[in-house]
Chains A and B, each alone.
Chain A
Amino acid sequence: MDYIPLEKEERTFVFVLFSIHNVMKTEKLLKSQKITFDTIPVPKEISSDCGMAILVASSEKNRVRKVLGESGIDIKGIYLRTCGRYEKKNDK
């Protein structure tokens, strides 16, 4: 399996959702759309939640947003990850 690189300089996006159920549903949707992603624990810098989040390459951010929007999956937050730091980009 290919993983989304977590090297310092890579720009990636983390999608935080409201429940593990929605993370699982997102996995299913992204697989069907052939979008590469990783399911990762919610970074502690973002939240102390013990849930999971979806990590995608920056080039896929808009496609993922569209897929989630069309499927009615609410997004808790979208975060840009660069150099190991997280910056909130969009609420919805």
Chain B
Amino acid sequence: MTSLPSDSRIIYLDHAATSFPKPEGVKQAVLEYLERYAANPGRSGHSLSLEASRVLFAARETIATFFHVDDSRKVIFTCNVTEALNLAIYGITRQGDRVVTTSMEHNAVMRPLRNLEAKGIIQLTVVPSSPEGFADIPGIAQAMRSGKPRLLVVNHASNVTGTLLDLKRISEIKGSAYLLVDAAQSAGCVPIELDSLDVDLFAFTGHKALQGPQGTGGLIFKTGSEPVFPLIRGGTGSHSEFEQQPDFFPDKYESGTPNGCGVAGLAAGVRAVMERGVRAIRDHEKRMTEGLLKRLNGLERVRVFGPMDPEKQTAVVSIQVDGMSPSDVGLRLDRDFGICVRTGLHCAPAAHRTLRSFPQGTVRISMGIANTMDDVERIVEALQWIISR
């Protein structure tokens, strides 16, 4: 059995997978919901059910405010970003459609698209990104000009290298296609104001930089008139006399009892981010990224992937150590130093092919709001020790 190192604290550097620890308010909000009003929101009509509905409504309003969305009905809750992306991709594509994406996408995008392609429903164009993970803007623009694609799917920040995409530029070249943005890695740590962007469908997760619990996320519609079929249908607590799915937001896309306690926690997470300020968080993470990159640059046998520029990436840094498998490095960081990182392909085989780190993958160091420069020093010292032996 593996045990945690007893003489030192855990250093958590896996925020790109899930942020940890959560702000105190998140725990309190989940607990309060469970203790005081965990009835069925929008269903039963009694005072506790009503209180649960109010929590969901307030959470929707908080998220709408955070992302600069005018009408909170257009914020649809899902259980994670994968579900949000599946809802958007399966919901908007039709037989014979052309879809364009990049080679830096996560499997949450790639697998639904490859599945639709294999079924003969869509024609898929994957525009190769650069070895640093940068999207090929002219290449995408060219792909958007031929054959009238219906959908363009891009990530805002890579989960492997943190490479950022300029959403303004990408929305300028989308043409008549719908633009779906996977903001799993950027929502909560990079400022995003949807009212100044032309993003038709915006998918986010709750459990990463938005500081919420797992099992939360959502899809934000730009206008609400995007032709997206629901992924699931069922009870909504509304229009119960009809056997057809209601056609209004948010009920159209939210069937079944929602993750009430999770959403309560997500709202508290977003409030914590707003209190600290997303720009302040971004600055903090840029400083740590700069410090880490600088120190890694001085280490022999370490190869860094990605932009290697804190302005052009999130606080995600992927490395390989010459002569050692990423999984060995990760195991030793964990067992001998109590440092949690993620190794391997990070559910993004296409991205690793693009970065030329396939099939062994990388060691991914990802920082969050709770980290400090001290954590950066500690992982660099640990890597030095591992490399020297």
Sorted from nearest, which 3 A-B pairs have the closest CB atoms?
A41-B45, A24-B57, A20-B42
The answer on a CB contact under 8 Å between B54 and A27 is: yes
Among residues of A, the one whose C-beta sits closest to the C-beta of B251 is: A19
Enumerate chain B residues within 8 angstroms of A50, measured Cβ to Cβ: 43-45, 237-238, 240
Among residues of B, the one whose C-beta sits closest to the C-beta of A53 is: B45
Point out residues on B near A: beta carbons under 8 Å.
41-46, 50, 53-54, 56-57, 60, 72-73, 237-241, 246, 248-251
Enumerate chain A residues within 8 angstroms of B246, measured Cβ to Cβ: 19
The answer on a CB contact under 8 Å between B57 and A21 is: yes
Q: Does A70 contact B (CB under 8 A)?
A: no
Q: Does A7 contact B (CB under 8 A)?
A: no
Task: Point out the residue from A18, A28, A48, A52 that lies within 8 Å of B45, measured CB to CB.
Answer: A52
Enumerate chain B residues within 8 angstroms of A77, measured Cβ to Cβ: none
Among residues of B, the one whose C-beta sits closest to the C-beta of A47 is: B241
Q: Does A2 contact B (CB under 8 A)?
A: no
CA A23 – CA B251 in complex, angstroms? 13
Given contacts A18-B248, A19-B251, A39-B50, whether A48 and B57 have CB atoms under 8 Å apart is no
**A38-52 with Cβ < 8 A to chain B:** 39-42, 47-52
Q: Does A25 contact B (CB under 8 A)?
A: yes
Grouping DSSP codes into helix (H, G, I), strand (E, B) and loop, the A interface class, with mixed when no group exceeds half, is mixed
Given contacts A20-B53, A21-B57, whether A48 and B248 have CB atoms under 8 Å apart is no
Among residues of B, the one whose C-beta sits closest to the C-beta of A18 is: B248
Enumerate chain A residues within 8 angstroms of B57, measured Cβ to Cβ: 20-21, 24-25, 28
Enumerate chain B residues within 8 angstroms of A19, measured Cβ to Cβ: 73, 238, 246, 248-251
Enumerate chain A residues within 8 angstroms of B250, measured Cβ to Cβ: 19, 21
Enumerate chain B residues within 8 angstroms of A27, measured Cβ to Cβ: 54
CA A24 – CA B50 in complex, angstroms? 9
**Distance of A28 from chain B, by nearest CB (Å):** 8
The answer on a CB contact under 8 Å between A24 and B248 is: no
The answer on a CB contact under 8 Å between A51 and B42 is: yes
CA A62 – CA B45 in complex, angstroms? 25
CA A48 – CA B243 in complex, angstroms? 13
Q: What are 5 A-B pairs with beta-carbon distances under 8 A?
A: A18-B248, A21-B57, A40-B45, A47-B241, A50-B240
Task: Point out the residue from B54, B56, B60, B241 that lies within 8 Å of A49, measured CB to CB.
Answer: B241
Given contacts A27-B54, A51-B42, A52-B45, whether A21 and B241 have CB atoms under 8 Å apart is no
Given contacts A39-B50, A50-B44, A52-B45, whether A21 and B237 have CB atoms under 8 Å apart is no
**Distance of A26 from chain B, by nearest CB (Å):** 10
Enumerate chain B residues within 8 angstroms of A20, measured Cβ to Cβ: 41-42, 53, 57, 237-238, 251
**What are the interface flags for A27-43 relative to B under an 8 Å C-beta threshold, 1 for contact and 0 otherwise?**
11000000000011110
Among residues of A, the one whose C-beta sits closest to the C-beta of B246 is: A19
Enumerate chain B residues within 8 angstroms of A18, measured Cβ to Cβ: 238, 248
Enumerate chain A residues within 8 angstroms of B44, measured Cβ to Cβ: 50
**Distance of A49 from chain B, by nearest CB (Å):** 5
Enumerate chain A residues within 8 angstroms of B73, measured Cβ to Cβ: 19, 21
